[in-house]
Amino acid sequence: MPKAYWISFYREIIDPDKLAAYAKIAAPAIEAGGGRYLCRGMPSRVFEAGLMERTVIIEFDSVETALAVYDSPAYQQALAALKGGVVRDLRIIPGS
């Protein structure tokens, strides 16, 4: 079964305090579900339609595992803390 990647492209950080609150809840929820952070932070450089905003890539053992973490009560609590704090594009993509 191919690995899966959860990729978050932040478009705008509206409330850094909400992002910080989210991170405190989300990281343990993601790691408890088997997620491994590969990178998180600001890009070194962007191209084409990219934005100079935060990007996060997390590896999971499968798409099903990544989806289960996203739908978990613990991660939903993190999303509630984040609500209205950012604009982002989150994708879950199967590895090849």
d(CA 33, CA 4): 13
- pLDDT of the residue at 96: 86
d(CA 50, CA 64): 28
Low-confidence ranges of the chain (pLDDT < 70): none
> For the segment 50-74, what is each residue's pLDDT rounded down to a tens digit?
999 999 999 999 999 999 999 999 9
- pLDDT of the residue at 1: 77
**pTM for the whole structure:** 0.92
Residue 4's SS3 state is strand
All structural domains of the chain: 4-94 (3.30.70.100)
